[in-house]
Amino acid sequence: MSSKIIGTLGVMACRKPGFPPFAEKEFLRELSVRAERLGMQVFVFCPDDASPPSGADRIKGYRFSPEEGWSTGTFPLPDIVYDRCLHRSGEETAAAGELLNRMSQLGVKLWSRGLPGKQKVHQLLKRSSAIKPYLPATLSYTGAESLSRALPAFGGRLFMKPSGGSQGRHTLYLALTDQQRVRLQGRDRGNRMFQQTIPVQEMNEWVRRFTGRRRFIIQPFLNLRNGNGHPYDIRSLVQKNDRGLWSVTGIAVRQGANQGLTSNLHGGGTAFPALPYLTTEFGEEKATEIMRTIRDLSAQLPALLEEGFGRLGELGIDFGVDTSGRVWILEVNSKPGRRAFTLTGDGHAARLSVEHPIQYARYLLLRQLRRVNT
């Protein structure tokens, strides 16, 4: 354990039934233990625990110790706040944003800004001539008219997902089977799988009910399955380190269920080391080329995104590889999971994935202290 604690890191986590009452318990336990060794103390709070009147300087939260486990307490405002909350609605996002702004006004430093919706990220990235060839076409879903444009443009098959983070939930594959029928497959809001075929006349109303009030994007359906029919993607975790510099922490394949739609681990998928997996699919030479492309893109994307959206601390970049070996940038999110590296047995990447957020928080705090003292 570090002999000197230099500051506190408050982690904002989404509320979840149980005790402690938040998501990512394993990650936050490990974060707490490693933070102590690096001179930082961690406590976790939920957004509704941290809505004091303006000027209040204490928050209800939860702290972990190896001796006592999780305990409840009331804590002073942290030096830095690390937002790990994945919001389910625009209202939740707006409320959390207001809370973070208020904490910032009270002197709390934000560990990182977040990315906006997928469509805004897509619009920014496609301005880069180097990145644009790797982006699938992306449209905003605005109702029946957008579907009628997208279906012929995308060859009668398309994929829809929420513009905000969904962890594989609430996704839809839609395909015209003939002029009269439409095949629908995906996961609902509760992450339950479904599959059905309906008359084409019912399509627009069905999709309207499925999307509800959430914003969705429409993309062409890409064949991102391996030779055995399993969907897969490649997660590249890119994080800032103890010098405030970007580095690739690890790269892993995430594989979904046979004939499933997505490869997200929350949908029951598993993970594999990337290079051996790709070598099995494409041979050694092509697999090496694919990995080089993924590493190159992982190095380029953070600077572009920070230029457009402000300072970031970590990114989960999801790549697809179609059956021809072409690489696609599927998604970028600023609150990435890291369980894939535990599942692959990559202990080095798993350890760094937890340590880097603490190291970057420490870097931000020490830089701020140096400015105060000069």
Residue pLDDT, tens place only, 266-290: 667 899 999 999 999 999 999 999 9
Distance CA 147, CA 153 (A): 10
Q: Is the pLDDT of residue 54 over 50?
A: no
Answer whether 133's CB lies under 8 Å from 125's CB.
no
Q: Which residue, 82, 88, 326, 33, is CA-closest to 214?
A: 88
**What's the rounded Cα separation, in Å, for the pair 198 and 183?**
7
End-to-end CA distance of the chain: 29
Is residue 331 within 8 A of residue 10, CB to CB? The reply is no
Query: Above 70 in pLDDT, residue 89?
Result: no
- At 58, phi and psi to the nearest 5? -135, 150
Report the mean per-residue pLDDT for the chain: 91
pLDDT for res 55: 46
pLDDT tens string 189-200: 888 889 999 999
Residue corresponding to tokens 């909350």: 85
Structure tokens at 108: 């709390």
Q: What is the rounded average pLDDT of the residues 335-352?
A: 95
Instruction: Using pLDDT thresholds of 50, 70 and 90, give the confidence band for residue 261.
Output: confident
- Compute the radius of gyration of the chain from its Cα atoms: 22
Task: Please give the single-letter amino acid code of residue 119.
Answer: Q
Q: What is the mean pLDDT of residues 126-148?
A: 96
pLDDT band at 374 (very low <50, low <70, confident <90, very high): low
pLDDT at position 2 over 70: no
Residue 51 predicted with pLDDT over 70: no
The residues near 135 (Cβ < 8 Å, ≥ 6 apart) are: 122, 125, 126, 328, 329
Residues 18-31: pLDDT tens digits?
999 999 999 999 99
Which pLDDT does position 227 carry in this prediction? 92
| DSSP-derived secondary structure for 166-222 | -TT-SEEEEEESSSSEEEEEEE-TT--EEEEEEEGGGHHHHHHHHHTTS-EEEEEPP
Task: Name residues whose C-beta falls within 8 Å of residue 16's C-beta, 6 or more positions apart in sequence.
Answer: 22, 23
Tens-place pLDDT, residues 216-236: 999 999 999 999 999 999 999
Crossing angle for the helix pair 118-125 and 284-309, to the nearest 10 degrees = 100
355-366: per-residue pLDDT in tens?
A: 999 999 999 999
**Residue 328 clears pLDDT 80, i.e. is over it:** yes
87 band by pLDDT with thresholds 50, 70 and 90: confident
Question: How far lies 12's CA from each of 15, 45, 86, 208, 373, in Å?
Answer: 9, 5, 10, 33, 29
Q: Is the pLDDT of residue 151 over 90?
A: yes
